[in-house]
Amino acid sequence: MSKPLYTIAKILAATGGSSSLDPSTPINAISIDSREIGPDALFVAIKGDRFDGHDFVDTALANGAVAALVSRGEGNKRVMVPDALEGMRAVGAAARSRSRAIVVGVTGSVGKTTTKEAIRVVFEAAGETHASIKSFNNHWGVPLMLARFPETAQFGVFEMGMSGPDEIRPLAQLVRPHIAVITTIAAAHLEAFGSLDGIARAKAEIFAGLEPGGTVVLNADHPQLNVLLDEANAAGVGRIVTYGEARGVDWQILDMEIAADKSFATVEHDGTRHALVLNVPGRHMVANATAALAVSHLAGIEPAVALRALAGFGAQPGRGQRLTLGPSDRPLLLTDESYNANTASMTAALDVFAAQTAPGGRKLVILGDMLELGKQSASLHASLVPAVNASGAEGIYLVGAGMAALADALGPGRVAAHTQTAQEMAEIVLSDLAYGDAVMVKGSNGVGLARIVDKIRQQFGSN
C-alpha cells in the first residue's frame, strides 16, 4: 500500500488543530471545492470573496470527504483550527519542509503560466513532478498547491501572481524555491504600481523566498532588467542566469522562425547550440521554452531530454490554444487568448495571428479591455493600432469601455462592432462568423471573453 499524502495526525501536527478523528486516518487529497472531492480527501473551508467554505462542509462530507478543516461549526469529521486558510498554509509549509524535490517558483507580468507549464513538461520527462494547476497562483492557490505536494515528488513548479505590492513575498517565502524565474515585466496591474519599475520591484519579491545558494533566472528582453538585477543583488542572490534574444545573455535565442503553427529557434548556451522546435507559434512561446531549457539545465536534466519534451508542448486554454472547428475541408480556426491581456501579451498575440491564414474566409479579432492600467489606460489601448493593423484582421470587434480609445485611434469604418459586454458581443459575432474564417479572441479575464469562446465552440463544433 502506498504511503498517504498525510494522516490526520500529520494535519494536526502541522496546524495545531484538534479533532476527534482517528489520528491514523489517511488523507490523500486536499480540496477547497465541495463539488470536487476525491477519495480520502480533506476539505478546507476557506472564506473567499463570494463564498464561505463553511457553508459547504456538510456537502463536502456527503460527497466523500473524510474530514473538513474548519474554524467554526460542530459535528464529526472536523479538524478545528483558528483560521482555515492559515491552517492550509501551515499544511503547505509542512509539505514543503518534508520535500526533497527541486522546487521552482515562476512569476512575471506575462507568460508565467505558459512558462510554468513548459517547465512542468520538461520535468515530467525526467521524474515525478508536482505543478500548480490552472492559475492557482494567489494567496489561497499557492498554499493549496503546496498542500498537495507529494513527499515522493522529485520536482515541484509553483506559479506566483499578484495584483498589488507585498503579495509575492509571502508566497515565495512559503514556496522557498531553489530556482526563481521572472518571465518579463509589462504593464499588467499598472494601476497598483504606477510604473513598470514598480512592477519589477514587486515581482522581485520572489527573491525573498529563494533558498540559500539558489538561482534566479531572468528574461533579459525588457527595459526593467537592471531593476531586477539591482533587486537580486540587494537580496544577496548568488547566481543569476539570463535568457532571451539580447546579446551576452546566458541562453541566447538565435535564428528564430515563426510559422503558422510551429516555432523554430537555435538556443546557444556556453558555446553549444541547441535546436528548439515547438508545436506552437510565437516569439513569446520561444522565450518561455528557453526559460524552461535554462531551468532544466540547472536541475541537472540533459538538454536532449528537455528538447524532446518541449517538441510536444502546446498552448493552454485561454493562452493561445488553437482549435479547428467544423468540417476539415473548410473549418473555422479559433485562437483562444481569452485569459489575460496587457500591451505586451496583446501585441504578441496579434503578431502570431498575423501569420495565420483563414482556410477560406476572413480574419477577425475580438479584443477586450486590458484592465487595471490606471491613468495610462487610454494611451495604452490606443497604442495597439500598429499591431492590429499588422495582424491582417479584416473584422475588428471590440469589447469594453477601455477599447473606445482603440476604436477612436483606428478611425472611422475600421471597427465592425464595439460593445460594453461580452454577452452583447457574443450575439453579434455568432451571426457574423462562418466556416472558413480565422478568429482570435483576446482580452483580460475580467472582461469575460471566455464566454464568447465557449459559444463559438458550441455553435461551430469541434473535430
Model pLDDT for residues 57-91, shown as the tens digit of each residue: 999 999 999 999 999 988 889 999 999 999 999 99
CATH number of the domain bearing residue 31 = 3.40.1390.10
Q: Is residue 94 part of a domain?
A: no
Work out the percent of the chain whose per-residue pLDDT is above 90.
Answer: 82
463 has a pLDDT exceeding 60: no
Q: Per residue in 148-176, pLDDT tens? A: 999 999 999 999 999 888 999 999 999 99
- pLDDT tens-digit map of 344-400: 889 989 998 998 899 988 999 999 999 888 888 999 999 999 999 999 999 999 999
403-423 pLDDT per residue, tens: 999 999 999 999 999 999 999
Backbone angles phi, psi at 28, to 5 degrees: -120, 5
Average pLDDT over every residue of 316-329? 86
**8 Å CB contact between 193 and 373:** no
- Which residue, of 261, 284, 311, is where some domain finishes? 311
Would you give the DSSP letter of residue 361? S
The gap from C-alpha 391 to its chain's centroid, in whole angstroms, comes to: 25
| Average pLDDT score over residue span 240-257 | 96
**Domain assignment of residue 92, yes or no:** no
C-alpha span between 329 and 126 (Å, rounded): 40
The total of other beta-carbon atoms located within 10 Å of residue 351's CB is: 17
Give CA–CA dist 35/64, Å, rounded.
Answer: 10
CA 270 to the chain's CA centroid: 30
283, 311, 339 - which closes a domain: 311
Report DSSP state, residue 2.
P
Q: How many residues does the chain have?
A: 463
261 vs 56, more confident: 56
Question: What CATH number corresponds to the domain at position 153?
Answer: 3.40.1190.10
In this prediction, residues 111-124 reach a mean pLDDT of 95
Same domain, 236 and 364: no
Q: Can you tell me the distance from the alpha carbon of 368 to that of 15, in angstroms, rounded to the nearest whole number?
A: 43
Same domain membership, residue 285 and residue 199: yes
The contacts of residue 363 (CB under 8 Å, 6+ apart) are 353, 356, 357, 391, 392, 393, 394, 395, 437, 438, 439
- The domain total for the chain is 3
pLDDT the model gives residue 1? 52
Q: For residue 316, is it within any domain? A: no
Verify that 75 and 222 share a domain, yes or no.
no
Return the bridge partners of 252, or none: 244, 268
Residues 143 and 11 in one domain: no
* pLDDT of 231 above 60: yes
CB distance 360 to 328 below 8 Å: no
153 is a domain residue: yes
Q: Let me know: does 283 contact 355? Beta carbons within 8 Å.
A: no
12 in the same domain as 75:
yes
Is 93 within the bounds of a domain? no
- Asked whether the beta carbons of 312 and 235 are under 8 A apart, the reply is no
Classify residue 97 as exposed, middle or buried by CB count within 10 Å of its CB (0-12, 13-18, 19+). Answer: exposed
Q: What is d(CA 370, CA 1) in angstroms, rounded to the nearest whole number? A: 50
Structural element, H or E, at residue 41 = strand 41-44
Tell whether 155 and 266 lie within a shared domain.
yes
Predicted local confidence at residue 316, as pLDDT: 76
Cell of 437: 474564417
Same domain, 124 and 12: no
Confidence label for 38 from pLDDT (cuts 50, 70 and 90): confident
Choose the most confident range, by mean pLDDT, from 110-114, 184-188, 428-432: 428-432
* pLDDT digit string, tens, across residues 412-458: 999 999 999 999 999 999 999 999 999 999 998 889 999 999 999 99
pLDDT at position 322 is 87
Is residue 280 within 8 A of residue 320, CB to CB? The reply is: yes
Strands of the 67-70 sheet, one edge to the other? 29-31, 41-44, 67-70, 78-80
Q: Which amino acid is at 190?
A: L
Across 234-262, average pLDDT = 94
For 192-222, the pLDDT digits (tens) are 787 999 999 999 999 999 999 999 999 999 9
Q: Which domain holds residue 381?
A: 321-460
Residue with cell 495610462: 376
Domain check: are 144 and 291 in the same one? yes
Element (H, E) at 27: strand 26-27
Query: Is position 88 within any domain?
Result: no
Q: Does 129 share its domain with 177?
A: yes
326 found inside a domain: yes
Choose the final residue of a domain: 252, 285, 311.
Answer: 311
Q: Are residues 332 and 304 in the same domain?
A: no
86 occurs within a structural domain: no
Do 256 and 355 belong to one domain?
Answer: no
Q: Give the strand order in the sheet containing 321-325.
A: 321-325, 332-337, 438-442, 363-368, 395-399, 417-419
Coil, strand or helix at 193: helix
* Whether residue 104 has pLDDT greater than 70: yes
Separation between Cα atoms, residue 101 and residue 155, nearest integer Å: 5
Claim to verify: residue 149 and residue 36 sit in the same structural domain: no
